[in-house]
A and B are shown apart, each in its own frame.
Chain A
Amino acid sequence: MVSLTRFFSKKEKLAEGKTFEPKPYSNPYLVGVGLGLVLLAAYLIMGRGLGASGAASTLVAVTVSKASPEHAAKNNFYKEYLGDENTNPLKDWLVFEVLGVAVGGFLSGTFAHRIKRTTEKGPNVSIKTRLIYAFVGGAIMGFGAKLARGCTSGQALTGGAILNLGSWAFMLAVFGGGYIAAYFIRREWL
């Protein structure tokens, strides 16, 4: 690469340097149409929508069952994700879908030069504080998603498009909870 740059004029070198700057995020309405078409494809091909937290639940249930099979077998929540003994619980639609999410995000980030080892936070908190908040928020969300039988993907987006009553009630509650909490933790972001 270094030897190659010798062949470019100074101006071209600058232009080349610029292309490695992270590109701005895409138009939100266009992204929305794209995401909507992905969701529609899932519905038309599979008869089900998207999801995320379900894959995490499978991972937790499998880990618990590896550590203590009797403990997991007594619990209806873990049992739901472990299935019967004939199939590997990790051979699950959502597990494969979420692996795809990681790959798709990485590809998009690569094309737009947005892959970066960093921590996203507001200007007034330390990285350590932000990471503690990330863990605590993640834990609250994991708990809430299981109580609600799905998260923003499985309930709000997927259930929203099929006009599911519970999903719309859920979606309003998410925005409600978010706007109430936002005031109290504004220091993290503003």
Chain B
Amino acid sequence: MMPYFKFGFFSVDFSLVVAFVIGIGFGFSLERGGFGNARILAAQFYFYNMRVLKVMFTAIVTAMLGLFYFSWIGWLDMSLVYATDTYLLPQIVGGLLLGIGFVIGGYCPGTSVVSMSTGRTDGLIYVLGMLFGIFVFGEVFPLLEGFYNSTYMGRVLLPQYFGVSFGMVVFLVVFMALGAFAAGEWAEKKFAKKGRIAE
């Protein structure tokens, strides 16, 4: 039965080895995708290189189909898979801030680690900025705690929220992703004309 860790197949200490190996796969993929380079990431927001959208949605669709398949054949207990509880408003406000920080800083937390480890100075400075931002958040946390814990909804997944089956949402997300890929390819052609680097 999966997830293996939840069924006691190995110890907490060994899970750290798993973490390191999975991290290597994660970092390797990010670098392959060009996400250690802020220009590629920022290009997403000017439509001339849509790699962020393509990689992210392909990854989401791949993992989602895998989760769906393994739970459908009964190997995976989805209720044991961790999903963060939804706090709608703080997540939307945090997301907006994150988007703004993404364009200004050129990275997100995971990609900045890859950028730093492949020698980019801006990646290193970004990481320092991120640590500072988290420190500021920690210091003002007592003031924010009320908002941070507001609009609590518990563990809500889309199928249950919309009252439709898991398979139906999976189908709709795949459909949406294909549409997004088509739009992305179209945008790249349209916006590349302005003579920008499309690496």
Contacts and interface: CB of A to CB of B under 8 A. Distances in A.
Size bracket of the B interface? 35 or more
Nearest to B28: A104
Interface in A99-147: 99-109, 112, 114-122, 127, 130-131, 133-147
B31 A109 contact: yes
B59 A56 contact: no
Interface string A176-190: 111111100110111
Contacts of B169: 163
A145 B122 contact: no
By DSSP majority rule, is chain B's interface helix, strand, loop, or mixed? helix
Nearest to B116: A102
Contacts, number: 531
A140 B105 contact: yes
A131 B60 CA distance: 31
Interface string B156-196: 11110100001001100100000001000000000000001
A118 B59 contact: no
A43 to B, nearest CB: 6
Contacts of A181: 45, 99-100, 103-104
Contacts of B131: 56, 59-60, 142
Contacts of B45: 178-179, 181-182, 189
A86 interface: no
A101 B84 CA distance: 22
A142 B137 contact: yes
A75 B142 contact: yes
A64 to B, nearest CB: 7
Contacts of A188: 42, 104, 106
A181 B44 CA distance: 12
A47 B36 contact: no
A40 B78 CA distance: 12
14 contacts: A28-B51, A36-B58, A36-B63, A47-B82, A48-B81, A108-B31, A119-B120, A135-B125, A138-B101, A140-B104, A145-B134, A162-B157, A170-B91, A173-B91
